Chains A and B, each alone.
Chain A
């Protein structure tokens, strides 16, 4: 178990290192002078030179990368000529646009993304798993056919189309809700929930199609197993067979996939956040790209990568915990 965990974590670190090299290399190769970008439009040549000195942009690329990595692990000091500017341990540099530390910028965006991810997960678990179970248990009926068509259509629909249609229906046509604007939970929990309702539905329903398919197939697979036949032969009621035994087989994959999806949503549900103007991590990536704020882009990509990679490990662990037939090697 410990060995397995160490091996997986080693793999995770490798993925992140490759990601950091790729993204840092691109950042270095990007057109435009980073020093000028960092300094702003109105800087004199002299000021630009000073910024280049401060950020160490004159050093060879591998030295810069080494400093960047050391900044993440141990923090980093920038000299501004007169004073030292300290950047704490997971240091991802400073935003060119706002001069804010990228780490704190991402942390500021975290609550919005977390709000979105949690609510959406509740919806995909309830609706997705519910639909999948229903369609597995009503095999051959009209319900199953309808649900199959729905999930097939849902799998291919891009999330922003679903979101736009929901916006049109709920905000423009029925006028049940105003266009959502993000309100932090700590400011007003009730407003927070009302404004998050559409983003939750959009992301949750989008993911539901996948969960419906997964639940359906794993339930059917379990129902076809020998031990279920034995239970039935012994006269165990259908309700107990499904509720107590079939579900046990259907749950582990759902849990594992949820962990994966939660991770990637935490890394930035770029499309949903961008459509509903939610100031989350994914939105900061798009803003960073538009403003050519390279440290923010690099930082968000690394954070996203970390979320996805950690989610992978967690998903495997949860799977093994939920299904005792799986042994981690």
Chain B
């Protein structure tokens, strides 16, 4: 369906609870993350995928194929272009078979598809985080008018129907504009509202705290406070939220390409392959299963890893490990600003 899971709300909740991690907290979070088997497996899968995507030209050379050469001899034109041979034409020359109709090598196309998928997902996340942090910080630190205007604007951005607007946007951009960049911009410029909300809420809380007040008293300007004191403390909630955004962006790219408004042929993309697989699902199931499986595994790995990152950065999980210490130090929160800011 068109809506993605209602993550902003849950993300906001998680973000609001995340405390300021000092250096030791970051190390602890890292240790917690490594301790989760599911996180390690997910990270391994993603690492492998990134390596494969980066090495795509190399692997293509090893296989001796490229992404766009047609192999008419490998598809059965009498049967409408179904690949000859079992499992979609798997052979020593074509490790994962060939594309029905054209005979292009699937292994190489899938690898290059991974590049597009990862590039757009990561690029869009970067744009979202940059805009979200900038707007959220300005909103949290600015005067009442600026905050009201920016918050209202953020509300409107969140209320807009994302997928539909993204589709409409792709319609009005000239065809020669590079599509992956277009997708990064469309997703990034439309969907930064969640990040901005979290950053604003976090900034409002943080700026009440003593270490920020101390920095102000020591003569730091607003900009310096934002950069030196607030940004490091915002890292945890922003990373948590970015980890949720990544798989969502990946699905969005695949969806737009599936609808034929994303990456344009001949550039391969998983969503676009699945779109052309619609006419082949009877005759050549492998052509559906390969891109679908890859997309599924990648999104799942991102989701699992994102969940683990959230848990690792969650101060409540941290508290569980330090129960003894916390009980002994029941001093006012002001004594130790690096903990428990929600109280």
A residues near B (Cβ < 8 Å) are: 11, 14-15, 18-19, 22-23, 26-27, 29-31, 120, 152-153, 155-161, 164-165, 167-168, 171-172, 203, 206-207, 210, 257, 260-261, 264-265, 267-272, 274-275, 282, 285-286, 288-290, 292, 294, 297-298, 300-301, 304-305, 308-309, 312
Which of A158, A168, A290 has its CB near the most chain B CB atoms (within 10 A)?
Answer: A158
Q: Given the complex of chains A and B, what is the CA–CA distance between A29 and B323 in angstroms?
A: 60
Q: Across the interface, do B281 and A29 meet the contact criterion of CB distance under 8 Å? A: no
A286-B259 contact given A158-B299, A164-B288, CB 8 Å threshold: yes
Q: Which residue of A lies closest to B299 (CB)?
A: A156
List the B residue with the shortest CB-CB distance to A293.
B171
Chain A residue numbers with a CB within 8 Å of B271 are 158
Chain B residues with CB below 8 A from A282, complex form? 2, 164
A267 to B1 alpha-carbon distance, docked (Å): 11
Contact flags B83-114 to A (C-beta < 8 A → 1, else 0):
00000000000000000000000000000000
> With A172-B282, A267-B161, A297-B168 in contact, do A161 and B296 touch (Cβ < 8 Å)?
yes
Task: Known A-B contacts: A155-B5, A301-B165, A309-B159. Give 14 more (CB < 8 A).
Answer: A15-B159, A153-B296, A155-B303, A157-B299, A160-B255, A164-B277, A264-B1, A267-B161, A271-B2, A282-B164, A289-B167, A301-B168, A305-B160, A308-B160
Complex formed: what's the CA distance from A27 to B251 in Å?
26
Contacts A157-B296, A161-B296 known; A257 to B6 CB distance under 8 Å?
yes
A305-B282 CB under 8 A given contacts A26-B169, A161-B292, A297-B168: no
Which residues from B are CB-within-8-Å of A120?
1
Q: How far is the CB of B107 from chain A (nearest CB, A)?
A: 20
**Interface size range of chain B in the complex:** 35 or more
The residue from A23, A31, A270, A297 contacting B259, defined by CB atoms under 8 A apart:
A270
- B12-68 CB contacts (< 8 Å) to partner A: none
**10 A–B contacts from the bound complex (CB under 8 Å):** A14-B156, A23-B168, A159-B1, A165-B292, A265-B2, A268-B2, A271-B255, A274-B258, A298-B168, A308-B161
Q: Per a CB cutoff under 8 Å, which of A18, A159, A261, A268 touches B164?
A: A268
Distance (Å) between the CB of B325 and the closest chain A CB?
26
The 10 A-B pairs with the shortest beta carbon distances in the complex, nearest first, are A30-B172, A156-B299, A289-B171, A172-B282, A156-B303, A264-B3, A304-B164, A161-B292, A15-B159, A304-B161
Complex contact B300–A152 (CB within 8 A): yes
Q: Residue of B at shortest CB range from A167?
A: B281
Instruction: Tell me whether A261 and B281 are in contact (CB under 8 A).
Output: no
Known: A156-B302, A164-B274. A210 touches B164 (CB 8 A): no
Tell me, in angstroms, the Cα distance from A210 to B2 when the chains sit together.
13
Partner of B156, one of A18, A272, A288: A18
B window 248-276: CB within 8 A of A = 251, 254-255, 258-261, 271, 274
Residue pair A275, B1 in contact (C-beta under 8 Å): no
**Which residues of chain B from 269 to 307 have any CB-CB distance to chain A below 8 Å in the complex?**
271, 274, 277-278, 281-282, 285, 288, 292, 295-296, 299-300, 302-304, 307
